[in-house]
Structure 1
Amino acid sequence: MHVTVEVVGEGVEKVSVAEDGTYADLVRAVDLSPHEVSVLVDGSPVPEDQPVEADRVKILRLIKGGTGG
């Protein structure tokens, strides 16, 4: 199954995931950790262990690097 993944503020890409793949699998496919993001489907968060049922998701990074002051 192909899913369009938008990492908010970073870009969009098409990702292939197994039919029984989870949202955590999608997150790993874009080189992020499920522990540092929230996955949104139609604007609502979904559990990372839930099977993928959407063809388009947004990934919101919760932790972002920056410069210290």
Structure 2
Amino acid sequence: MRVTVAVAGEDTREVEVEAGATYADLLAPLPYSAHQVSVLVDGRPVPEDAPVETDEVEVLRLVKGG
């Protein structure tokens, strides 16, 4: 399954995940850990252990250095 991942304020990427993958699996190829971001589906956060059931998500960085 191909999922479009839009990182808020940054870029959009296409990530390929297998059937039954979780949102934590979706983050694996990205440079963010589940502790640094929230994954949003339709504007609502989803648990990292929930199965991916959509083809578009938004990733919101919780902490940004500066």
* Superposition TM-score, scaled by structure 2 size: 0.95
Ranges of 4+ aligned residues in structure 1 off by more than 6 Å: none
Q: Which runs of 5+ in 2 are unaligned?
A: none
Structure 1 counterpart SS, 2:35:
helix
Share of identical aligned residues, percent? 59
Q: Which runs of 5+ in 1 are unaligned?
A: none
**2:19 and 2:37 mapped to 1: Cα distance?**
22
Name the structure 2 match of 1:21: 21
**1:17 and 1:65 mapped to 2: Cα distance?**
29
Are residues 1:32 and 2:32 paired? yes
* Superposition TM-score, scaled by structure 1 size: 0.91
Question: RMSD of the alignment, in Å?
Answer: 0.7
**1:21, distance to aligned residue in structure 2 (A):** 0.7
Relative to its length, the structure with more helix (as a share) is 1
